[in-house]
Copies of this chain bind each other. A is one copy, B any other.
Amino acid sequence: MNIKEIEQLLQNVKDGQTSISSAAETLRSFPYTDLGFAKIDHHREIRTGYPEIVYCSGKTIEQIKGIFSLMAVKEKNIMGTRATPEMFEAVKSIIPEAIYYDVAKIISIKKIQSTPPDSLIGILTAGTSDIPVAEEAAITAELLGNKTIRIYDAGVAGLHRLLDKLTEIRKCKVVVVVAGMEGALPSVVGGLVDKPVIAVPTSVGYGANFGGLSALLTMLNCCAAGVTVVNIDNGFGGGFSASIINNLS
């Protein structure tokens, strides 16, 4: 809202074309509009089905119930990450339509259906132990209204499986690559596809992987351009970023 628009509004108030209460309302909200908070919300309303997100870890069962019941009155989708089965049981007891993805540890409450874009998000893992993080990414992407394809256990030892699916991977608009241990898979994928690659290091491994540090550093030092990285075990972040890219037009 620029100075011209403000003057016009004031002129309208002076002329009686706009009521004081209506103008006051417009003005009161503009700082936040300008700051973008309202805009983001507005944007999100248009993209129907975009969920509210709750990070459940470290919250008590009571806090979880409180937050979900507060949110459930709105006509919005809700998504809870890092949720334990106990948290889910508590949510389900007050919101029966709640669904639990146990590998991804995500609670979902779906009230509005969205139409996903045609383009695909690929979710790859190096090993089977990386699957829980990958599922967090995949379910996140799907709940945010995207189509995904999963290609799991395609690390160095199973590189031929990766190559077998290369055509399929190349169809994706963005690829999330989940890997622990040495975390070399994103380098390889980044060298083979010409699409944004989001690397998710996992804490899978032992010894000098230092809780995922090894995979994290590998991915940050990745020679293949086009690879960006999120936090260790942050499947949600990988899925969310992929969704933002997939929804670009």
Write the residues of chain A forming the contact surface with B, with a CB cutoff of 8 angstroms: 1-3, 6-7, 10-11, 13-14, 16, 20-21, 23-24, 27-28, 30-37, 39-40, 43-44, 53, 55, 57-59, 63, 126-129, 155-157, 159-160, 163-164, 166-167, 170, 173-174, 181-184, 187-188, 190-196, 198, 201, 203-234, 236-237, 240-241, 244-245, 248
Contacts and interface: CB of A to CB of B under 8 A. Distances in A.
Interface centre among A20, A57, A207 (most CB of B within 10 A): A207
B214 A226 contact: no
Contacts of A194: 40, 43-44, 244
A109 B212 CA distance: 32
A228 B236 CA distance: 12
Given A59-B129, A129-B57, A212 B208 contact: yes
Contacts of A210: 211, 217
B228 A207 contact: no
Contacts of A215: 221
Contact of A14 (B20, B35, B43): B20
A232 B208 contact: yes
Contacts of A187: 156, 182, 184
Contact of A126 (B34, B40, B223): B223
B40 A192 contact: yes
Contact of A221 (B59, B166, B209): B209
Contact of A182 (B204, B219, B232): B219
A3 B24 contact: yes
21 contacts: A6-B24, A10-B24, A31-B31, A32-B160, A33-B166, A34-B166, A35-B163, A36-B192, A37-B160, A39-B170, A40-B192, A206-B231, A207-B233, A209-B231, A214-B218, A215-B221, A217-B217, A217-B218, A218-B218, A227-B241, A248-B248
